[in-house]
Structure 1
Amino acid sequence: MIQLTKVISKKELKQFILLPYSIHKNHEEWLPPLISDEWKVFDKTKNHSFEHCDTIMYLAKQNNKVVGRIMGIINHMYNNGNNEKNVRFYGLECEDDAAIYDTLINAIEIWGKQKGMNTIIGPLGFSDKDPQGFLIDGFKEPMTVMVTNHSYKYMINHLERNGFKKKLDIFQYSAKIPEKTEAIYTRIAKRATRSGYKILEFKKSKHVRPYVNEVFKLINETYKNIYGFAPLSDIESKEFSERFLPLLKPQYIKVVLDTSDKIVAFVVAMPDISVGFKKAKGKLFPFGFIHILKAFKKTNQLNLLLGCIDENIRNSGLVALMNIALLNSARENNLTVLDSHLILEENTKMRAVMERMEHKIYKKYRIFEKVLD
């Protein structure tokens, strides 16, 4: 018999956080996230996103053993801004067992209906910046840090059996970094420079910090039409930057200023350290951080993470300006492969940037939806 328990105590939250590490212990391509980072996501005392969301977390137990987990999220800020009544499911993990799976997903459906929601969507977290979607293609390809959602094929089968349909697909590209910049990009970038735009490059993280607040303001303005995104408050922006800035190399952060020194565009990337994360097995100490540091030095891949341009000046050559600077930094450090991170199927402009290079789509993810009766 399967017992469903709400996560209330710290002990139960720890069980919730640690369950994937046993579910995926024999999963060759799964990339364990840092346990310390998972606490920052799921502990409401450490994640201010809980303040504007209704949430619930369940553990499924069988014979006193934790065998599954799931989280339900109602993001009121997103729902109100988009005139929707969606409950999100997130963090769904269990073995290939229909009874366990159904118990978990049905619990979120019931909870969502009790809260007045008419649709369930997912996997989707507090924001589109959390891992999203179930993997539908590319199961034998390696994972990259910041995606960390290498689900089993059976997750899709059980979801479809429960009446879920495709909401949208998300692509992940791998592209060869060209040995030199194409002349057309150089011409476009020069036009941007002549128009007064200038690019900032960094050598130390402390030089990046003064720009963090303005970067997140730009994110809130330009990401508003991206599916699943809800504006980040000042405290959420601070939490997000504190989680990831220590992992970033400042030379792969590029910021564009206009003639009044206002931030109008930026791009953030990082060398792929997935091998180090895998060896760390979710723990920075005592030796995990050493594996991660070594991975920085050995990788040949650069992973895109974030980027945007002020919507009012999208055709001003800033993409070329940033791409040239970013790829130059990659070449200087002998990086030869560029990973796109996650790109929505409908984001044709960003997909076109990747498809101008020698590329392949090596992973596809899907967000599902179901109307609640």
Structure 2
Amino acid sequence: MIQLLEVHTKKELKQFIMLPYTIHKNHKEWLPPLISDEWKIFDKTKNHSFEHCNTILYLAKKNNAIVGRIMGIINHIYNKGSNEKNVRFFGLECYDDAEVYDKLITAVEAWGKEKQMDKIIGPLGFSDKDPQGFLIEGFKEQITVMVTNHSYEYMISHTERNGYQKKLDIFQYTAKIPEKTAEIYTRIAERATRNGYKVKEFKKSNQVKPYINDVFQLINKTYKDIYGFAPLDDKEAKEFSERFLPLLKPQYIKLVLDASNTIVAFVVAMPDISEGFKKTKGRLFPFGFLHILKAFKKTNQLNLLLGCVDENIRNSGLVALLNIALLDAARSNNLTVLDSHLILEENTKMRAIIERMEHTIYKKYRIFEKSLD
């Protein structure tokens, strides 16, 4: 018999957070997130996003063992801005057990109905910055990268068996970094420079901090039409930057400023440290950070994380400026491979930029939906 438990206590939340480390213990392609980061996502005292969302967390218990988990989220800011009434399921983890999966997913469906929602979508977290989608292709290709969801293949069959259909797919590319910048990019970048645009580069992380608020304002402005994105307020932006800035190398953060020194475009990338993260088993201390430092030195791959261009000036050559600055930095550090991270199938402009290089789509993820009527 399966017992469903709503998470209330700190002990139960710890069980919720730690369950994936058991389920994926022998899953060589799975990348364990930092346990400290998981607390920052799922603990309402640490994550400001809880303040404008309804949430519920469930654990499934079978034979006195925790065997599954799921979170339900109603993001009121997103729903209001998109004129939708969606409940999201997120963090769904279980063994290959149809009874457990069904118990978890139907619990969030029922909760969503109680809250007068008319559709359930997922996997999708508080925003598109959380791991999203179940993996549908690329299960055995290679270890995943940060902030992606390398789920087991059986999650697809259990989801579809419960009446869920495709909402949208997300692509992840690997591409060869060209040995030199294409001449067309150089010409376009020169034109952008003549029009007063310039690249701002950094050597130290503390040099980035004064620009963080303006970067997130640009994100809120340009990401508004990206599925699942909800604008981040100042507290959420601060929490997000504090999670990731310590792991970033400033030479892979590039901003474009206009003649009045306003940020109009940016890109953030980082050397791939997945192998180091794998060895930490989710813990930075006492020795996990040493594995990460070693991975920084050994990798030949650069992972894209975030980027955007002010939508009012997208044809002003700013992509060329960012492309040249970022790939020059990669080449100077002997990086030869670029990982696109996650790109929505419908984001044809971003996909076109990657597809100009020698590339392969090596993983695909899917966000599902189901009517609750």
TM-score, length basis structure 1 = 0.99
Q: Which amino acid aligns with 2:34?
A: L
Give 1:367's aligned residue: 367
Q: How much has 1:148 moved relative to structure 2? A: 3.5
Give 1:312's aligned residue: 312
Q: Which amino acid aligns with 1:142?
A: Q
SS at the partner of 2:208? helix
* 1:225-255 deviations in Å (ceiling 9; x for gaps): 0000000010000000000000000000000
Asked if the contact 1:32/1:148 (under 8 Å) is kept, the reply is no
Asked if the contact 1:176/1:338 (under 8 Å) is kept, the reply is yes
Q: Which amino acid aligns with 2:73?
A: I
SS at the partner of 1:99? helix
Give 2:257's aligned residue: 257
Q: Which amino acid aligns with 1:309?
A: V
CA distance in 2, matches of 1:87, 1:13: 21
Match status 1:155 vs 2:155: yes
* 1:308-367 deviations in Å (ceiling 9; x for gaps): 010000000000000000000000000000000000000000000000000000000000
Give 1:56's aligned residue: 56
| Structure 2: stretches of 5+ with no match in the other structure | none
Q: Which amino acid aligns with 2:7?
A: V
Q: Which amino acid aligns with 1:333?
A: N
CA distance in 2, matches of 1:256, 1:368: 36
* 1:249-276 deviations in Å (ceiling 9; x for gaps): 0000000000111000000000000000
Give 1:139's aligned residue: 139
Q: How much has 1:28 moved relative to structure 2? A: 1.3
CA distance in 1, matches of 2:4, 2:36: 26
Pairs within 5 Å for 1:157-196: 157-196=157-196
Give 1:67's aligned residue: 67
* 1:24-71 deviations in Å (ceiling 9; x for gaps): 011110110000110000000000000000000000001211000000
Give 1:124's aligned residue: 124
Displacement over 6 Å in runs of 4+: none
* 1:80-123 deviations in Å (ceiling 9; x for gaps): 00000000000000000010000000000000000000000000
CA distance in 2, matches of 1:158, 1:181: 46
Q: Across the two proteins, how many residue pairs are aligned to each other?
A: 373
Give 2:354's aligned residue: 354
CA distance in 2, matches of 1:148, 1:31: 8
CA distance in 2, matches of 1:6, 1:142: 35
Give 1:33's aligned residue: 33
Q: How much has 1:165 moved relative to structure 2? A: 0.1
SS at the partner of 1:241? helix
Q: Which amino acid aligns with 1:347?
A: N
Q: How much has 1:184 moved relative to structure 2? A: 0.4
Q: How much has 1:143 moved relative to structure 2? A: 3.2
Asked if the contact 1:30/1:148 (under 8 Å) is kept, the reply is no
* 1:132-158 deviations in Å (ceiling 9; x for gaps): 000000001223432331101100000
Give 1:334's aligned residue: 334
Q: Which amino acid aligns with 2:348?
A: T
Q: Which amino acid aligns with 1:182?
A: A
Q: How much has 1:209 moved relative to structure 2? A: 0.4
Match status 1:102 vs 2:96: no
Give 2:322's aligned residue: 322
CA distance in 2, matches of 1:143, 1:89: 24
SS at the partner of 2:196? coil
SS at the partner of 1:346? coil
Q: How much has 1:6 moved relative to structure 2? A: 0.3
CA distance in 1, matches of 2:197, 2:41: 37
Q: How much has 1:371 moved relative to structure 2? A: 0.2
Q: Which amino acid aligns with 1:367?
A: I
Give 1:343's aligned residue: 343
TM-score, length basis structure 2 = 0.99
Q: Which amino acid aligns with 2:351?
A: R
Asked if the contact 1:33/1:148 (under 8 Å) is kept, the reply is no
Give 1:284's aligned residue: 284
Q: Which amino acid aligns with 2:327?
A: L
CA distance in 1, matches of 2:217, 2:127: 15
Give 1:298's aligned residue: 298
Match status 1:202 vs 2:228: no
SS at the partner of 1:170? strand
Match status 1:231 vs 2:231: yes
Asked if the contact 1:144/1:272 (under 8 Å) is kept, the reply is no
| Structure 1: stretches of 5+ with no match in the other structure | none
Asked if the contact 2:177/2:357 (under 8 Å) is kept, the reply is yes
Asked if the contact 2:28/2:143 (under 8 Å) is kept, the reply is no
CA distance in 2, matches of 1:299, 1:147: 18
Asked if the contact 1:29/1:142 (under 8 Å) is kept, the reply is yes
CA distance in 2, matches of 1:235, 1:147: 20
SS at the partner of 1:56? strand
Give 1:11's aligned residue: 11
RMSD: 0.6
